[in-house]
Amino acid sequence: MKKKLVSLLTVSAMTMAMLVGCGETAADTATQTAETVAETAETVADTATEVAETVAETAGNADLADKKVGVCIYQFADNFMTLFRTELENYLVSQGFSKDNITIVDGANDQATQTNQIQNFITQGVDVLIINPVNSSSAATITDLVVGADIPLVYINREPDADEEARWSANNWNVTYVGCDARQSGTMQGEIIVDLGQEKVDLNGDGKIQYIMIEGDPENVDAQYRTEFSVKALEDAGWTVDCLDDQVGNWDQATAQQLVANSLSAHPETEVVFCNNDAMALGALQSIEAAGRKVGEDIYLVGVDALTEALEDVLAGTMTGTVFNDHIAQSHGAADAAINYITGAGNDYYIGCDYVKVTTDNAQSVLDSLK
């Protein structure tokens, strides 16, 4: 391009010299003019190239290798969030971020600790924050802090409430939520039970389904909705339910094991054990087996997440079913949203994802897809 421009200008200057062509002086002047024009053209072309290079470099800021990402996880000691954060980091690296520029911190299930971590990330001047809040109810405070520092924010896993989400769009803030709708997972848990048929599940034949519910942290919508919608699916199918016990296991296996041991000894008539996640369902299974009961024969058990161990239990018949909480789609979605903020492409204010019902029919294919 540059060469073409120079030679074109040279040719036209020489043509001009030839046209002027009366006497040597005129020709010399024309040649000199042609040379000057050519030189000027070269300078212009050089400048153009330099400008183009600067523009390319600026666009190269979209080069992610020097961008800093801060990630806050509510608690490292959570099976599902461990899968999530591991996949998130690997995917960010695969997209061009440097591993050294990705900092993932453990909120240790304490909001004050996490708020401090967010403040530190702000001081360090990270380019984007990905936050799994300890308390969903602290989201407004977190958003104010982060938006106030002009840093884009991607919430994951624990969805802030509708009022908070409405503020993001109302103010045009670079804030979004990436996650699934917990109502869907609850409904699917209930449907897994309904699909077995009432005859089979109503073991004592009294026309009611005796169940116990083991909840995650009730501050969080995942726990609230799964508790509500799992039972609602039974009622929507026209079944009558009888809640024998409803306890908070805080997403934790050991806690759930203890709770279910107590519940089963107090309520041996239990027909279904609903757990808000698989970690707690694995704890429940330990107590079910310790009580000499057999899943699929004299009790039914469902969880959520599709942890590898739970999928193996579904295949072995020691768990009735679970619901795949797609940590791969969610972590990739969160990373993509972070990238979209960095490049200036922007995001919607809500980025959803679907749960998948898992029974013996598809547990193997879900397991294979996770390898």
- For ligand GAL, the closer of residues 10 and 111 by Cβ is 111
- For ligand GAL, the closer of residues 30 and 285 by Cβ is 285
Which listed range, 78-86, 137-145, 200-208, 359-367, lies at the site for ligand GAL (CB under 6 A)? 78-86
Residue 227 binds: one of ligand GAL, Ca ion, none (C-beta under 5 to 8 A by kind): none
DSSP SS3 for 333? helix
Place of tokens 């449907």: 191
Which positions from 158 to 187 touch ligand GAL by CB under 6 A, shown as an x/- string? Answer: x-----------------------------
DSSP string for residues in 193-257: HHTT-HHHH-TT-SSEEEEEEEES-TTSHHHHHHHHHHHHHHHHTT-EEEEEEEEE-TT-HHHHH
Using CB under 6 A, pick the residue from 215, 271, 305, 313 that binds ligand GAL: 305
Using CB under 6 A, pick the residue from 227, 322, 325, 347 that binds ligand GAL: 325
Which listed range, 81-89, 194-202, 213-221, 251-259, lies at the site for Ca ion (CB under 5 A)? 194-202
Residues 6 or more apart in contact with residue 89 via CB below 8 angstroms:
71, 99, 102, 104
Question: In whole angstroms, what is the distance from residue 30 CA to residue 22 CA?
Answer: 11
Residue 320 binds: one of Ca ion, ligand GAL, none (C-beta under 5 to 8 A by kind): none
Shortest Å distance, C-beta 325 to ligand GAL: 5
Shortest Å distance, C-beta 190 to Ca ion: 16
> What are the tokens at 252?
């934790």
Helix (H) or strand (E) holding 177: strand 175-178
> What are the tokens at 13?
């200057």
Closest by CA to 84, choosing from 159, 220, 178, 186, is 178
Task: Work out the angle between the directed axes of helices 327-343 and 79-94 (0-180°, nearest 10).
Answer: 40
Using CB under 6 A, pick the residue from 38, 41, 72, 81 that binds ligand GAL: 81
Using CB under 6 A, pick the residue from 159, 222, 252, 271 that binds ligand GAL: 222
Using CB under 6 A, pick the residue from 13, 14, 64, 78 that binds ligand GAL: 78
What residues numbered 204-233 form the site for Ca ion, per CB under 5 A? Answer: 204, 206, 208, 210
Question: In whole angstroms, what is the distance from residue 155 CA to residue 131 CA?
Answer: 5
> Which residues are at the interface with ligand GAL (CB under 6 A)?
78, 80-81, 157-158, 216, 220, 222, 251, 277, 279, 304-305, 325
